[in-house]
Amino acid sequence: MPRRAIDKIVSREYAQKLSKELHERGVKIVFTNGCFDIIHRGHVEYLEFARSLGDILIIGLNTDDSVRRLKGPTRPINRFEDRAYVLASLEVVDYVVGFGEDTPFELIREVIPDVLVKGGDYRPEDVVGRDIVEEHGGKLVLAPFKDGYSTTALIKRIKELG
């Protein structure tokens, strides 16, 4: 398993091949996704929680175009390459793979994780990819929601101070 941050940022093709090999070896794959624009404590605790649920944590990271469509023209603050590198530098993160769609549905279908993790602010029926994971015997886990930690709130606070 790679330990340098740059080696943890992989293509979708590699993630799909790796996932197949890991499944064959009985390795429990955890997957989560997001924009992770400005990493804060809420993100880190969320990722630590996710990693505790399995052997390998794969993060699906929205590309810059995908973030703009979801969050508006002023986002992301940090480019994809920078967001991916910061995530990959965290010890709890095993792999980061980008996706350009509005949802990670296709990426989840390619990886087929054993555990899909989303924040506790989601309702289970609204989590994209839940059906794929459950069809393959996996499960959805909603992480405890840490109030007061969000990138949007952080950006707002910076603007107020600025």
Instruction: Supply the CATH number for residue 76's domain.
Output: 3.40.50.620
Cα angle 4, 7, 9; round to 5: 120
For residue 10, CA distances in Å to 41, 125, 130, 158, 159 come to: 25, 29, 23, 32, 34
* Euclidean distance between CA atoms 72 and 68, whole angstroms: 5
Q: Is the pLDDT of residue 3 over 90?
A: no
Structural contact between residues 65 and 100, judged by C-beta atoms closer than 8 angstroms: yes
Q: Does residue 123 sit in helix, strand or coil?
A: coil
Q: Is the pLDDT of residue 108 over 90?
A: yes
pTM of the model: 0.92
Q: Round the average pLDDT of the chain to a whole number and report it.
A: 94
Average pLDDT of span 74-97: 97
Place of tokens 């400005």: 38
121-147, pLDDT tens digit by residue?
899 999 999 999 999 999 999 998 777
Total number of domains in the chain? 1
21-30, pLDDT tens digit by residue?
999 999 999 9
Cα angle 8, 13, 19; round to 5: 70
Q: Is the pLDDT of residue 79 over 70?
A: yes
55 is in which domain, residue-wise? 5-161
pLDDT number for residue 2: 66
